[in-house]
Structure 1
Amino acid sequence: MIETNKKYTFDGPFATYCSMYVEYKIGLGYKFQVSSYYRLRQVDNFFKKSGLKKPILTKNMVEEYVSKRDNESTKTQHQRMSTIRQFALFMNMLGFNFYVFPKNEFVKQRDNFIPYIFTHDEITRIWSIVDQLKFSGNSKYAHLIYPMLLRMLYGCGLRINEALTLQKTDINLKDGVITVSKGKNNITRFVPMTETLRIYGQHYVKNMAFDMSMEGYFYPAPDGRKYNSGSILSGFRRILRDAEIITDESVKPRIHDLRHTFAVHSLEKMINEGQDIYSFLPILQTYMGHRDVESTEQYLRMTSDTYGNIINSTEEMYQDVFPEVQENERL
């Protein structure tokens, strides 16, 4: 939420409506960061300098605003297109007839990254493998840590280093809440667990013989220090091979792709229940620790037609959207 002091005022032809737009977005649950405010003020200032006196927005005006500027990155131009489009949609909700820049005419941002989205069957096969891990003298906790860690990454959408940095005191298994302290972007957030994951965590704590009131990592390396993410990835690749998800010659999913899969499966669940994913995006933004909702939207880009309907779905409000994890009764 932005501060409400003088530097966040608007003084162009859209001043009153810009302030209303900010309050509207905040009311929906969006975190209106300084960068979002700055882009909105750019719109107001641009048309102030052009001499506009009343709130109108025609096709020519919008196309002039979104046109490429000298030394401007594609990302910046894309953000300007998104800002003026969202503002126009808001103004039309108020009864205006503003031109809405078409989303299919946004400039394409170069991004060669293609996330691997695990299918529900592949997730089930992963659980089957990790639940059969045996004690190893080289890593005496691995057979307990992997089943819990991978379920937490998939069930809560954590980044791997966020999970490995967790202290025992960060985990509240009574209420089912994880405290992620100063994750990426220096954001501290509270992440709820599903009931199945909370119960699984209780079994894990019992088998690890943890005193949860004492300091120490929730996923300790054999020497008690923080587990190395490289070691976890190596073990994860072996699990994927055993689950027949990858071969030595195939594209190798990263452990971070469990985070992508968490987001996609959550949205997929919403669509299947007829919910509105756009109302859910600011919640997912907070849940995953993104700085702004644009990051969440980019992060969820699909690479397969299988999930194409996620971007276009609009229905009712969200409820109970996070994917469940399976409890291992043998723990």
Structure 2
Amino acid sequence: MAKIYYYSIYADKIQEYVRLKHKLGYQFKKQEYHLKQLDRFASLRGETSVGFTKAFSDDWEIKKNHETERNRYIRVSILLHFSSYLRDIGYESYLPKLPAYKRSTYMPYIFSKIQIEALYKAADELRAGRNTSMNTCIMAIPAILRILASTGIRIGEVINIKISDIIHEDQCLKICDVKNGKERLIPISKNLLNVIESYKKFRNLLPEKNIQSEYLFIKLDGRRCTANGIRRWFSKSVQMAKIRESNPGHTPRVHDLRHSFAVNSLASMVADGIDLYVSLPILSNYMGHQNIQATEYYVRLTKNMFPDLSDSLDSTCIDIFPKFKNYE
């Protein structure tokens, strides 16, 4: 990515803010783009002192032609967070209200444990057709689906796993977070480690020239598996397992395995009496969330999927997730 330069009165402060975010492990690429626009906006207005005014904020909040409500929301949130940073380092700066916008009402498909087992069975029974080329990842699908469902990692993370990322002595996998660029170690069960080792035995039966890749999951021709290839075989497995749509047109997606892992893990911990103050940070770190607020989404899903646990969830979440406060 090309280096971004800032020229307004806020240039030094923006650079300090971006460096801070990078040190905290954020990639921050999209945010830097919006900060560049904010810097340009401040330059055009001829701002001469650090600290945003309400007038500046009101002008920045004006919806652009053909701009979506979501993009406007992101722009204002960038100003809000940067302005909050300025206040933290001693400047008077106005904090705008976040504009309302219609959020997606999409509900992910949550697989039951029975459905997950049926999906595994279907993946094990996948067979390549007579005309199937070497450009297929069918051999890796049973192991990939088990990893996705058992760990909740993202599809982009599973295809990036390298053979060297398997740490046998600690029984864990090193995962490179595709969203935030941070590495994390996740513990896995002995059974899942055995699944990986079984796959590697079949992998090593491929021609020598095809197994030189550093990546764990490869196609028959030796190239790394792709997300699209995994999605196709996942859809085939769902059909074979006769897993029905929860709503018309609501077909289960690969990413729903991640949602299912989070919801089922949270439900199990609550049912076992594990305090959410303990379990939520663990789940948040395991899944690679930047903060615990990102995990709140799964608390809501769990309440919808397991209404019997609603009271237990409510009693803790009152304190963990306080209502958002707008600042004038």
Q: TM-score range by the shorter chain?
A: 0.5 to 0.7
Question: How does 1:92-107 map onto structure 2 within 5 Å?
Answer: 92-103=87-98, 105-107=99-101
Runs of at least 5 residues in structure 2 that lack an aligned partner in the other structure:
130-136, 270-274, 305-312, 323-328
Determine if contact 1:179/1:188 at 8 Å carries over to the other structure: no
Is residue 12 from structure 1 mapped to residue 8 from structure 2 by the alignment?
Answer: yes
Residue in 2 that maps onto 1:116: 108
Residue in 2 that maps onto 1:78: 73
Deviations 1:235-291 (Å, cap 9, x if unpaired)?
2233253xxx657978431233214445667899896526669x9699547xxxxxx
Q: Rate the CA distance shift 1:78–1:266 in 2: closer, same or farther, 3 A.
A: farther
Determine if contact 2:118/2:241 at 8 Å carries over to the other structure: yes
Q: Which secondary structure does the structure 1 equivalent of 2:257 belong to?
A: helix
Question: How does 1:231-270 map onto structure 2 within 5 Å?
Answer: 231-239=233-241, 241=243, 251-262=250-261
CA positional deviation for 1:301: 9.1
TM-score if structure 2 supplies the norm length?
Answer: 0.61
Determine if contact 1:117/1:257 at 8 Å carries over to the other structure: yes
C-alpha distance in 2 between matches for 1:274 and 1:93:
30
Deviations 1:118-171 (Å, cap 9, x if unpaired)?
26xx1x22343356569759569x9996652222223252328x75x6798577
Residue in 2 that maps onto 1:194: 187
CA positional deviation for 1:190: 6.8
CA positional deviation for 1:70: 2.8
Question: How does 1:164-203 map onto structure 2 within 5 Å?
Answer: 172=166, 174=168, 176-177=172-173, 192-196=185-189, 197-203=192-198
C-alpha distance in 2 between matches for 1:171 and 1:302:
31
Identify which of 7, 13, 21 aligns with 2:17.
Answer: 21
Q: Rate the CA distance shift 1:168–1:210 in 2: closer, same or farther, 3 A.
A: farther
Identify which of 82, 105, 126 aligns with 2:115.
Answer: 126
Runs of at least 5 residues in structure 1 that lack an aligned partner in the other structure:
286-292, 316-331
Residue in 2 that maps onto 1:54: 49
Deviations 1:167-226 (Å, cap 9, x if unpaired)?
98577464754788xx999x99977553313343124445x47459953584767x9997
Q: Which secondary structure does the structure 2 equivalent of 1:273 belong to?
A: helix
| Aligned residue identity for 1:65 | W
CA positional deviation for 1:22: 0.9
Residue in 2 that maps onto 1:30: 26
Share of identical aligned residues, percent?
Answer: 19
| Aligned residue identity for 1:18 | I
C-alpha distance in 1 between matches for 2:78 and 2:287:
16
Q: Rate the CA distance shift 1:132–1:17 in 2: closer, same or farther, 3 A.
A: closer
Number of corresponding residues: 282
Indicate the larger mover: 143-152 or 54-63: 143-152
C-alpha distance in 1 between matches for 2:204 and 2:72:
52
Q: Which secondary structure does the structure 2 equivalent of 1:44 belong to?
A: helix
Residue in 2 that maps onto 1:273: 278
Q: Rate the CA distance shift 1:280–1:45 in 2: closer, same or farther, 3 A.
A: farther
Residue in 1 that maps onto 2:59: 64
C-alpha distance in 2 between matches for 1:57 and 1:261:
43
C-alpha distance in 2 between matches for 1:190 and 1:115:
29
CA positional deviation for 1:18: 1.1
C-alpha distance in 2 between matches for 1:228 and 1:56:
49
Q: Which secondary structure does the structure 2 equivalent of 1:92 belong to?
A: helix
| Aligned residue identity for 1:202 | E
Identify which of 79, 82, 88 aligns with 1:87.
Answer: 82
Q: Which secondary structure does the structure 1 equivalent of 2:49 belong to?
A: coil
TM-score if structure 1 supplies the norm length?
Answer: 0.61
| Aligned residue identity for 1:129 | A
Determine if contact 2:152/2:287 at 8 Å carries over to the other structure: no
